[in-house]
Amino acid sequence: MGLLLGRLQPLAGRVYLLVFVLFLMSPLLILAAAAFNDSSFPTILPWQGSTIKWIVALFHDGEIGRALISSGIIAAGVIGLSLPVGTAAALVLTSLHGRTRGVVYALMVSPMLIPGIVIGISTLLFWRQVGVNGGYFLTILAQSSFIISFVMLMIVAQLQRFDRTMEEAALGLGASRLLVFRRILLPYLRPALLAACCIAFLQSFENCNTTLFVRGTETPLTIFIATKVRTGLTPVINALGLVMMVGTIMGAVLWEIARYRRAVRSAAV
């Protein structure tokens, strides 16, 4: 009996892993398949024949292009604001000790726990008092108010492994604080900064509930898709999802190839 259970346990683990992966991937696979169905409604049943006209229509859709540009502008602004502020917050937090550090940490991560709708409404109401209406400016501010917390946490995680004796040695040899930051700390933080940029971009690009209240006349991609859900979806949206999936996979593969080549070069030195 024990031998039988010993043989079944690895099999059960593999079956569970397969079911789990299928559970995660099935919505994406259905979305991708619907992009090739010759139907005016985004579905895979009934299958009415294969076509690529929805992918072709995607690249001729001016509204989606403008929505992508709008989302890209907002994401770039969020990265430009949240990265330096989040890095500065991480440096301040790691320099504190005791209860003060705990209090400051709680304050800095609290925006992550606030519902996005509340952040959007409060940002809009506050800035309207000084005559600033919705648009790129308010959208970037509202999104950055909680994305900064994500950036800070990633930089803090990297700083906790930093050897402070390197900094102290450089200062002892006469280097200025700015030079130490530029030559020692910044290169050390580069992987975390790149990861924080990716997280900030993704958090901004897919945000909807906060953006809805502060966007003004702009229509980012998430708002565009949400509007299409109410007015009527077409398989062009599925084609957009397919292109984004392929782009994400290609980006991940290229990143892994570059990382592997760097590791090989480092091992050869």
**pLDDT number for residue 124:** 92
The confidence band for 2, taking pLDDT boundaries of 50, 70 and 90, is: low
Q: What would the mean pLDDT of 236-262 be, rounded to a whole number? A: 88
- What number of CA atoms fall less than 13 Å from residue 74's CA on the CB side? 36
Whole-number Å distance between alpha carbons of 165 and 168: 5
Q: pTM for the complete prediction?
A: 0.85
Instruction: Name the residue type at position 117.
Output: I
Helices (H) and strands (E) counted in the chain, each on its own, are 12, 0
**Long-range CB contact pairs, 51-55, < 8 A, 24+:** 54/234, 54/235, 54/236, 54/238, 54/239, 55/239, 55/242, 55/243
Pick 269 or 120 by higher pLDDT.
Answer: 120
Contact between 142 and 119 under an 8 Å Cβ cutoff? The reply is yes
- With H, G, I as helix, E, B as strand and everything else as coil, classify residue 231: helix
* Share above pLDDT 70 across residues of the chain, in percent, rounded to a whole number: 97
Sign of CA dihedral 91, 95, 98, 100: negative
* Pick from 64, 34, 74, 72: nearest CA to 51: 34
**pLDDT number for residue 1:** 54
Mean of per-residue pLDDT scores for the chain: 88
Q: Does residue 157 surpass a pLDDT of 70?
A: yes
For residue 231, count other CB atoms closer than 10 A to its CB. Answer: 7
Whole-number Å distance between alpha carbons of 128 and 213: 12
**pLDDT number for residue 167:** 82
Could you say which of 1.10.3720.10, 3.30.300.10, 3.40.50.720, 1.10.150.120 is the CATH number of the domain covering 61-233?
1.10.3720.10
The confidence band for 153, taking pLDDT boundaries of 50, 70 and 90, is: very high
Q: What would the mean pLDDT of 58-82 be, rounded to a whole number? A: 93
Q: Does residue 3 surpass a pLDDT of 80?
A: no
Contact between 210 and 142 under an 8 Å Cβ cutoff? The reply is yes
Whole-number Å distance between alpha carbons of 186 and 193: 9
Task: Parse the chain into domains and list their residue ranges.
Answer: 27-60+236-269, 61-233
Whole-number Å distance between alpha carbons of 31 and 62: 22
Contact between 236 and 43 under an 8 Å Cβ cutoff? The reply is no
The DSSP code for 173 is: T
What's the pLDDT tens digit per position in 206-223?
999 999 999 988 899 999
**pLDDT number for residue 73:** 96
Report residue 54 as tokens: 């929805």
Q: Does residue 232 surpass a pLDDT of 80?
A: no
**pLDDT number for residue 156:** 93
For 248, counting Cβ atoms within 10 Å of its Cβ (0-12 exposed, 13-18 middle, 19+ buried), the class is: exposed
Contact between 83 and 196 under an 8 Å Cβ cutoff? The reply is yes
Q: Where are the beta strands (DSSP E) in 15-85?
A: none
Q: Does residue 83 surpass a pLDDT of 90?
A: yes
